[in-house]
A and B are shown apart, each in its own frame.
Chain A
């Protein structure tokens, strides 16, 4: 790997130091064919944000259709396409690339490495994910072709339940677009996961033992493990579905003793760990940000690691709580109820640890911290509705209702999105060298929070009143109108918040305040280099003596390693 050498040492195969190059060739080098983890990380995040806008617009259109009863703004077909594309995009082409971007950007900096373990594989992961997203969206233009029939975008839901996705029920190529683009994204995620594990385990700088490794890196290791174990069920099921669709196999073909529930098992065997794959990186950001803004070390470091690992393991055994309404044997219902509630234990430990970290600290309420605190509130509520849904009889009543929609949007917007905005607000100065505006950031924060609550709080009640998911319209007079009406306005508020965010980012890039190396007075290694970091991250690779290496540097008279055992 990267090693320090004098220019004269070059004996073998090195290209000469980079010459002065034209703007375009530099651009291509740095932003197209690059293998630099920082550029790839930012490219991931930019792509994720582009898809976020697309999927956000789809969500907005869904809400506009549902604003009034008996609305005809979208046709049923287009409505199906909208929620399919919204879900698929948000999970596979917003969530996954965004967390891959964070991992890519932060992990090498945090462990004092010059790049990821497999930089070229990293580029492959980025491009294959991006091309997967482009493939998914090209379905909008695929009205003709050899498989002409019902063309257009996939309309089978992000879960694509077989046998409804068999050729007999989903003719045309739209379902193939879904299968293949998601498969590409899975390849990309798997490659990234392998890379993260190899980087965290093999590229740590001198003295960075596993017990001193930042918690963010630890949590990304857990996520990578989950990706490696939980994505293949989806890929395998998709291969089976492809075989069914293209070669007449019978995996999910109910006419030839194929099983109608098998796909759901395979899909949720992936699908449930997937939600932890999405949220644990959010935990990771919060775990790095809260101590810095509470001016205290993280509370319960070891418990945090233990809780992350146990979430990673338990989450592999809870998938059938998505399937209570299928009609499982009662033993299975009990097992999955209990297993699901068990996840609440390590999650609770984490929430206590975050609160205990803030307890007695000197909290600075800057934007990143505000997002973290909002996350704590939302995630607690989302977790509680999750525990409610874990109870099988409750789920029989409310499964596939808007209560479920409200629940998981609480986890994903109130939880994940808040942490991602926290992460952006926190690491933006490092990545760009510019500070985001606090004023705009707070506008963004408050509008987003208000919009989020206006959108989703009422939907819980609409769900309790019996409003089912995935209906393209509903009759008047069932008591759902008000909740739906306000929910749509909430989306508008969120949209304004996102516009302010975009404005804030652009404004900061053009005329933001210079950030300096360490604007937050933080303790992990990424703040020990310039903002933005040079290509090689650290001219001299740092030595680490404790889990807060920068603390040791800033307080040579009272270093952490005096108090830490490893």
Chain B
């Protein structure tokens, strides 16, 4: 062993470039969700035009313009809500968050109306043909994600209404907005596959 004096000094430590665990966790979740959706999308594309009997997409599907506008603009309001939190503008935050929830709920209402029409008027269920099978499973999977997002947004909204310090949870709200954007992007894919390519 050398004497203490001749020991090399430790070099200055460079801070381990650690990432934010919330972001990494959420991105991982989104990665696995993307993989899940891609299988359902694959199944949908695989079965396009293969239904031998029953209603065909072109006969029963109408392009959901209004629902799409609602969902996509809810992404904008979600972003504005997060910015409001950063600027500590509480009432603005509540307004934008409320708008996001309303727009999301309107999207779900539109979906419900569409499904109601498909089931009761066009007699298309998940068991009718492979179009019904793939349509309800893909759109339903997306709708499930919208509902989960809505529940989380609603909890945030109620917590904020009951006087929670939103500034303290800025980071969590930020992540929640990411999830909401992800749900939106998935809708663009679903929309393209179901209503543009598949029709």
Contacts and interface: CB of A to CB of B under 8 A. Distances in A.
Interface of A: 117-118, 190, 193-195, 197-199, 201-210, 224-225, 228-233, 235-237, 239-240, 243, 247-251, 256-259, 262, 266, 269, 543-545, 552, 556-557, 559, 561-562
A543 B21 contact: no
A225, A256, A559: residue with the most chain B Cβ atoms closer than 10 Å = A256
A155 to B, nearest CB: 26
A209 B40 CA distance: 38
A209 B16 contact: yes
B89 to A, nearest CB: 26
Given A232-B39, A233-B39, A208 B25 contact: no
A195, A224, A236, A248: residue with the most chain B Cβ atoms closer than 10 Å = A236
10 contacts: A205-B16, A228-B32, A229-B31, A251-B130, A257-B50, A257-B130, A545-B10, A556-B2, A557-B6, A561-B10
Contacts of A239: 137, 141
A249 B13 CA distance: 59
A262 B46 contact: yes
Contacts, number: 137
B133 interface: yes
A187 B51 CA distance: 33
A202 B15 contact: no
B51 A198 contact: no
A256 B13 contact: no
A230, A232, A240, A269: residue with the most chain B Cβ atoms closer than 10 Å = A232
A100 to B, nearest CB: 15
A33 to B, nearest CB: 22
B43 interface: yes
Given A194-B29, A232-B36, A259-B46, A247 B127 contact: yes
A61 to B, nearest CB: 35
A248 B13 contact: no
Contacts of A232: 32-33, 35-36, 38-39
A96 B2 CA distance: 47
A321 B159 CA distance: 53
A231 B36 CA distance: 8
A228 B137 contact: no
A203 B28 CA distance: 16
Interface string B113-150: 00000000000001101101110110001000000000
B196 interface: no
B18 A201 contact: yes
A316 to B, nearest CB: 10
B10 to A, nearest CB: 6
Contacts of B47: 257, 259
Given A206-B16, A207-B16, A266-B39, A250 B11 contact: no
Given A206-B16, A249-B137, A194 B28 contact: yes
